[in-house]
Amino acid sequence: MTELGGLFPIGPRQVHRVGYGAMQLSGDGVFGPPRDRNEALRVLRAAVEAGVDHIDTAQFYGAGSVNQLIRAALSPYPDNLAIVSKVGSVRGLRPGKLRRGIEENLAALGVNRLAAVNFRLMDPAAVPGKTFDAGLAELVKARDEGLIEGVGLSNVSRRHLLRAVEQTEIVCVQNLFNLAERDSLDVLTECATRDIAFVPFCPLGLPGDQRRGLLTDPLLAKHADRLGTTPAQLALTWLLDLAPNVLLIPGTRSTTHLTENLGVADVHLDQSTQDELTHSSGRLKTGSAMCRWLGGVSDLQPGRPRRCTRHRSRMRRQRVARWWQGGSCGSPR
């Protein structure tokens, strides 16, 4: 495979732009151990053997079972392997909770330091304030003490990002983003201008109707057939080609689909196909700002974050909350 999309830094580490997201290794609904432990171990080992050096995980995936799988499959770890985790995602954070979350990840994985940890928010529409600052400060302290190499953010608005970079270096941002869901375009743009890695989660759409609609879209199917690829690969390639700071972490439970996901590094979109997908996928859901992306990130002027109606904002929060509470990003593969 062609260098898995090239390289981009997460803090001091250069990682391949196509990585692996471990959430789908957990049981159904992100709870408990996998259905097939041996296959899960094979997937992890095959990913690293194929050149993957960026694995995304969390201690709450499978109630700790996913981190245990990563340790069983890959320890002792390759020196170049960047393991990125996340903490947060609960309301009413108490002092020390994020620190304990980091320590639980370290213990389960059997490492002394993580490449980065993302401060995960429940609601990207929330106004950043003292609670956000306090949580960020906990991660900064963990970095200064050597427990993590870099501080990241997840499920945040551009406003959160701007507030965070005033206080510390941010090495990555992980937000919901795909062909059908582009509310974080302004965050991606800001990250690109600052050379911050942007890691889209649910890269094939939110589970259910959105993902099915995206992967069965006639235009996507037409171009996939023409290029001799799959709709999933085409959707991932579209993301990879948006900007050099985009890092992919598609997840899977099978070695067959792992090969398919990593194969996006060898799929090449011509500019007209990229533009057509960008424009025509508006029938799924897009913002007008995306239509100005055609010349690359440098030509896109960051605009104001879109002001959603109260109803739309509430529905989006509910949709993301349903994903977060009980489902992986897309049907288990």
Of 187, 143, 138, 176, the closest CA to residue 319 belongs to: 176
Q: Does the active-site annotation cover 61?
A: yes
Q: Show the tokens assigned to 35.
A: 């259905």
Q: Which one is catalytic: 8, 61, 119, 132? A: 61
Which residues are designated catalytic? 61
